[in-house]
Structure 1
Amino acid sequence: MEAELVLVLEMVVVLTAATVLGYLMNRLRQPVLLGYLLGGMLVGPVLGWIHAESDVRSLAEVGVALLLFALGVEFSIKDLLKVRTIALGGGLLQIVLTVLIGGGLVYLVVPEKTLSQAVFLGAVLSLSSTAVVLKSLTERNEVHTAHGQIMLAILIVQDLALGLMLAVLPALTQPPEVIGTALFRAVLTTVLFGVVAIPVGIWVIPLIMRHLARTGSPELFLLGVLVLCLGIALVTARIGLGIEMGAFVAGLMVSSVESADHALDRVLPMRDVFATVFFASIGLLIDPVFLWANGWLLLLLVAIVMVGKALIVTMIVRLFGYSLKTALTVGNGINQIGEFSFVLAGVARGLGVFSQEWYGLTVGTTAITLLATPFWFKLTPHFFALAEQLPGIGGMMRASQVPRYMEVEEGIANHIVVAGYGRVGRTLVRILQSQGHKVLVIDNDEATLPSLRQKQISYLYGDASSELVLEKAHLPGAKAMAIALPDPLATRLTLKRAMSLAPSLDVTVRAHMNQEIDTLYQLGAKEVVQPEFEASLEMGAHMLLQLGTPAHRAQQIVNDYRAGRYREIIPEQSEDAVAADLQAAIGGLGGQWYTLPDDSLLVGRTLAQANVRGLTGATVMVIKRLNRLYRYPDAETMLEGGDRLLVVGNMKEQAAFEQLLKGKEE
């Protein structure tokens, strides 16, 4: 068969395998790039169907260039500045420490190694996965939380540092006697390239992009963008900085022009196709027999990487003054090795720094940490729930959650507590103050402090879900409380702990997803507001008025939907989906099953009469009676002997509930 047809055939085979395995990973809720790796491994080393590996890898270089070009276009200096202190200080410190510690351990422990191998490996370990972390944060609705913003800030710095690594690290492959000169030359070349690139990016690139956009031809615009990307990449490759560096800089140049989003939109489909080829080409180089033979070593490396990196990041975030819980959350969130580490590992292999064995172990470790990340994210709330109840660790975690700054008058009373001072919280505070109400704000974003001080609003700077912070808010003397936090788990914890401190407090809560509504009501919220449903109700009311419906009737319809907890407009869910939502809802709250004895004083009482929350602080979330489950039972649900009760609460609340079951009220 002709060489051209062989390449086309093998490209089809690679892309087919990547598509099938990528689809399978997607259905299993795993990163699709793992499917691409496995697809390449399947048709390469396992089945031996690919023979034109060098040609496939040449096309994969285009994928690398487009990946880094898109990274440059998506780079946001605005997002970086939001948390610039932890981003620039913490992000750079994390990279340096990971390179020093990771590379240093390799250099000290591994026989027959070189300095360049140790540094390259340390650099590979220092990068985390922006794609996987962002996906996990988005699925959990935690992008705008404090820990989510810190994670993304550090990831942005890592992505930015990748360009510098690609420019400087190859100089380490030079002989020891000239390595200093090589490093100086690499840095000088990078600086000179930057001196030229900055004016080109400011004046030349925007001019070219505007002329391309004015043609009105999508094809010409796309071709122009590709020529810019690959052309600058070829220039940097020619001067010794590599195509990756040039593609990233090209993306940064384009990111500053008004048509940047349009350029990215046009390039993304091509990027995704060629990036698939890139990840599949990595799979072509992975020997499954080697991985199997070194399985225990791989698992040991994964454990060392994930635990070690988590400790480094946790220490740094804690150093910047964040609570131990936030620091641990960030550390456990970005403790994997990222997809761009494949790029660095490929460069190391191409330069002869990594042998095939080193490359296989690096890629295998990276793939496993990426696979473990989503599971790690899901286990984190349960880990915290357990850790907070342990005598030593729990005390440390609680002690670190004391408000760092506070401006609250002694003995404050008859006030309204607002947890969260984002867009929703600010508007709410403005409305309450306009009516003469005394407001106390709880927030953990340091950027909000100047505004609160200027407006002379009482505040607590800290985590609203912390018991120590809530105690300082004087909840028993408050009129009401509103919870408008961006973090779903923090919202549930804040509500749960607020109700434990002040069981009769009137609390209004913002729900992030419709699955949370019943949970929040069950935990004690007086009113739950779901922004998307509220928007639809207001739009519906406006349209009814325009169509001639009387104002009182339109308002009554809206109020009926609200009184019914939006149930009439919530999509139907299967029993399995409801069970999964419940399981997610109690994550981090601490749940335990109890059997209600026939002689318990609770038998024959409704939940309202039993007053479980008022007496113990715990909450009954589920009642299992015979073969039927009553999820989120209402206040009028009667308790019967033999009922199985799922109760959420901390160790103290669980102990009090056990006493209540035995008939000893506390």
Structure 2
Amino acid sequence: METLTVILLLLGASVLSVVVFRRLNLPPILGYLLVGTLIGPKALNLLAGLSGAHYLAEFGVVFLMFSIGLEFSLSKLYAMKRIVFGLGFLQVMATLATVTAAAAATGLSWQAGVAIGGALAMSSTAVLTKLLSERIELDAPHGREVMGVLLFQDIAVVPLLILVPSFSQSPEQMAIAMGIAMLKAIALLAPVFLLGKRLLSKWFFFVAHGKSAELFVLNVLFVTLGLAWLTEAFGLSMALGAFVAGMLISETEFRHQVEADIMPFRDVLLGLFFVTVGMMLDVTLVLANWPWVLGVLAALLLVKFLLVFGLSRLFGALSGAAMRSGLWLCAGGEFGFVLLADVSTNAVAPPPVVQIVLAALVISMLLAPFIVQYSDRLVLRFTASEWLMRSLHLTNLAARTLSVDKHAVICGFGRSGQYLARFMADEGVRYIALDLDPDRVRQAAAAGENVVYGDATRREMLLAAGVGRARVLVVSFIDARAAERVLRLVRELAPGLPVVVRTFDEKDLGRLQRAGAAEVVPETLEASMMLASHALIHAGVPINRVLRQIRQTRAARYRTLRGFFHGESDHDDNVHDSEAPCLRSVSLHDGAYAIGKTLSQLAVNEQEVEVVAVRRRNIRTLEPSGGTRFEIDDVVVLLGVPGALVKAEGRLLKG
């Protein structure tokens, strides 16, 4: 019962801390570390009787290495080989050499220097990839460098996890142990790599034919833990076996399903691992050595920044991109904690040193999101060439759009953006597209598309694209946070410009509309309507009824499709219907009854008519509220059936 109480306290504290850290937009890893510190032997010591916690937590590392193996793609490595095995390799080796030299200068052994250097060389794959994705910078020059270096760091963890435990032995014993480990690895992994992919593909195909989700998950666990057990039985690391299992499965067609199935196990057990890492932290010892902690923290951030910056410049990057790469990669990462746990377990370095390095890593991960957030300002502040290049780029973009008026600005030139551009071109609507993938921009521009490299979430880029003269702006990528930033800038730069935003489903509908989107288009809704229309037609429903149903659904869902302005040609097009809702514009000239009164006072909406928009000084305001007060020369857009519209117009003009 006592053990159950402790586990419940552990789970409750973990849930609470992770919720708080997510609300603060900080990595949840830090929440787990905080929980571990509080319940650890140096604080409340709640897990004193729970001997299996550390062993269970090891499986968190096993599943983490498995998921890294799933991302390990030979084609990806080949495509990024220059960054991965050039910049990434040199960054890890330079950090190891620098920390080893510093350790020797302070009286530590070279083994401790290499082990701690390996821990400090790591950056956070989880945090940085998430930030790159949110900021739409995965395809930016610094984004590619960051991803390449992170990929090599993930690979480098595997030999380091094998190497660190041998450091507790004498140099002669270590050399023998490493030689034996190398032979064992070759003897075990050679047949696994030669036969594993073919056998695993057939085995997974056989299991998948069972059409059972739980059977598939059990099989994933069996393969992962089976290879981890096999490598441990050979005297190697369990993490190595899990990494190999991930690599083999990544080459099969079941990779994405496996990744989705394994994620809950990985995240829960990895959280438990970071709790055990937090238990290692002795707050009293850290506070007693706080100058050393701050010194190690400052050295970590400065040295890694300078190393990455210098190496990036050596590989031909411009100073701005090199500086961004250095700022992104200078903080520590989760694999640093994994290696420090091995350092502590095998007593490779003195406990006070481990505590100081551990505290510095935790603080650096806390600082990482803030460093990334201010990286652009720092680059512009200290890199003169960045100002010049950005000015030239903006000047060229502005020159291309200077003669363009009433055009469309397309943010994102992926598949959706390209389809949209073709529709625009077919209808004779000029457009300018902004995209952050340099390869895509180069190829599309060479084919004659009006697309330029640029970040739509930057004020100066939108100004150069001519948002002040544009007729519409479309956010064609799916990223609610980035779309909100674009909407905020558009509200400042061109308040009357309608913005259409693409989103995956309707969960972000409310906040995007509140941010100022004229329309939000969910992919799931459109896909469902198309599926329904085809299915109903094949089910024998007349096509005119299907089209009417789709039209009514869209009209109810999309504000800008609710009704239309009637004209004489509507009779010829067979679209006139006396009971169908339509739109009507009413101009409030001097003397109109509605001038000076609010929408609530006029009670127009109570007459089966809706005021959908008000145009004032050529600026359209969607969804006017009850407190909207009408002024001279306002244009009121009404939606309703023809008979009700006549009454509402009379109410506005005559009272």
Q: Give the TM-score, by structure 2 length.
A: 0.67
Structure 1 residue 20 displacement after superposition = 2.1
Say yes or no: does 1:39 pair with 2:28.
Answer: no
Aligned partners of 1:406 and 1:460 also within 8 Å: no
Task: Name the residue aligned to 1:434.
Answer: 426
Name the CA distance, whole Å, in 2 between partners of 1:272 and 1:555: 40
Q: 1:257 aligns with which of 239, 252, 258?
A: 252
Q: Where in structure 2 are the equivalents of 1:339-488 lying within 5 Å? A: 339-374=334-369, 376=371, 380=373, 384=376, 393=382, 395-401=384-390, 402-403=392-393, 413-414=403-404, 416=407, 418-435=410-427, 440-449=432-441, 451-463=443-455, 482=474, 484=476
Gaps of 5+ in 2: 537-542, 564-614, 633-655
Structure 1 residue 539 displacement after superposition = 4.0
Aligned partners of 2:41 and 2:279 also within 8 Å: yes
Aligned partners of 1:37 and 1:282 also within 8 Å: yes
Structure 1 residue 434 displacement after superposition = 3.1
- Residue 278 to residue 81, structure 1, CA distance change in 2 (3 Å): same
Structure 1 residue 265 displacement after superposition = 5.0
SS of 1:510's equivalent in the other structure is strand
Q: Where in structure 2 are the equivalents of 1:317-332 lying within 5 Å? A: 331-332=326-327
Structure 1 residue 343 displacement after superposition = 1.8
Aligned partners of 1:45 and 1:284 also within 8 Å: yes
SS of 1:128's equivalent in the other structure is coil
Aligned partners of 2:395 and 2:464 also within 8 Å: no
- Residue 464 to residue 185, structure 1, CA distance change in 2 (3 Å): farther
- Residue 397 to residue 484, structure 1, CA distance change in 2 (3 Å): farther
Gaps of 5+ in 1: 1-7, 522-526, 565-606, 612-629, 639-666
Aligned partners of 1:481 and 1:506 also within 8 Å: yes
Name the CA distance, whole Å, in 2 between partners of 1:443 and 1:91: 27
- Residue 93 to residue 492, structure 1, CA distance change in 2 (3 Å): farther
Identity %: 24
- Residue 609 to residue 121, structure 1, CA distance change in 2 (3 Å): same
Say yes or no: does 1:129 pair with 2:120.
Answer: no
Task: Name the residue aligned to 1:22.
Answer: 14
Q: 2:115 aligns with which of 117, 120, 145?
A: 120
The one-letter code matched in structure 2 to 1:36 is Y
Q: 1:530 aligns with which of 501, 520, 523?
A: 520
Name the CA distance, whole Å, in 2 between partners of 1:228 and 1:51: 33
Name the CA distance, whole Å, in 2 between partners of 1:170 and 1:231: 22
Name the CA distance, whole Å, in 2 between partners of 1:450 and 1:137: 21
Task: Name the residue aligned to 1:101.
Answer: 98
- Residue 106 to residue 423, structure 1, CA distance change in 2 (3 Å): farther
Say yes or no: does 1:560 pair with 2:559.
Answer: yes
Aligned residues: 555
Deviations 1:188-234 (CA, angstroms, capped at 9, x unpaired): 65455443321132223333434444556767655554443333224
Deviations 1:368-427 (CA, angstroms, capped at 9, x unpaired): 3334445555xx15x746875xxx547544224344998999898348554432223211
Name the CA distance, whole Å, in 1 between partners of 2:223 and 2:29: 27
Name the CA distance, whole Å, in 1 between partners of 2:496 and 2:78: 38
Q: 1:67 aligns with which of 60, 64, 89?
A: 64
Aligned partners of 1:94 and 1:126 also within 8 Å: yes
SS of 2:452's equivalent in the other structure is strand
Task: Name the residue aligned to 1:614.
Answer: none
Aligned partners of 2:394 and 2:464 also within 8 Å: no
Deviations 1:520-552 (CA, angstroms, capped at 9, x unpaired): 65xxxxx74433289469949979985785887
Structure 1 residue 21 displacement after superposition = 2.0
Task: Name the residue aligned to 2:539.
Answer: none
- Residue 61 to residue 499, structure 1, CA distance change in 2 (3 Å): closer
Structure 1 residue 124 displacement after superposition = 0.8
Name the CA distance, whole Å, in 2 between partners of 1:387 and 1:635: 47
SS of 1:364's equivalent in the other structure is helix
The one-letter code matched in structure 1 to 2:121 is S
- Residue 209 to residue 504, structure 1, CA distance change in 2 (3 Å): closer
Q: Which moved more, 1:88-97 or 1:537-546?
A: 537-546
Aligned partners of 2:519 and 2:558 also within 8 Å: no
Q: Which moved more, 1:555-564 or 1:347-356?
A: 555-564
Deviations 1:257-293 (CA, angstroms, capped at 9, x unpaired): 3444554555444444543443333333332321222
The one-letter code matched in structure 2 to 1:252 is M
Aligned partners of 2:21 and 2:30 also within 8 Å: no
Name the CA distance, whole Å, in 1 between partners of 2:483 and 2:309: 23
Structure 1 residue 113 displacement after superposition = 0.9
Q: Give the TM-score, by structure 1 length.
A: 0.66
Aligned partners of 1:222 and 1:266 also within 8 Å: yes
Q: Which moved more, 1:55-64 or 1:324-333?
A: 324-333
Structure 1 residue 305 displacement after superposition = 2.6
- Residue 142 to residue 255, structure 1, CA distance change in 2 (3 Å): same
User: Which has more radius of gyration?
Assistant: 2
Structure 1 residue 446 displacement after superposition = 2.2
Aligned partners of 1:13 and 1:43 also within 8 Å: no
Task: Name the residue aligned to 2:644.
Answer: none
Name the CA distance, whole Å, in 2 between partners of 1:449 and 1:91: 27
Name the CA distance, whole Å, in 2 between partners of 1:376 and 1:408: 31
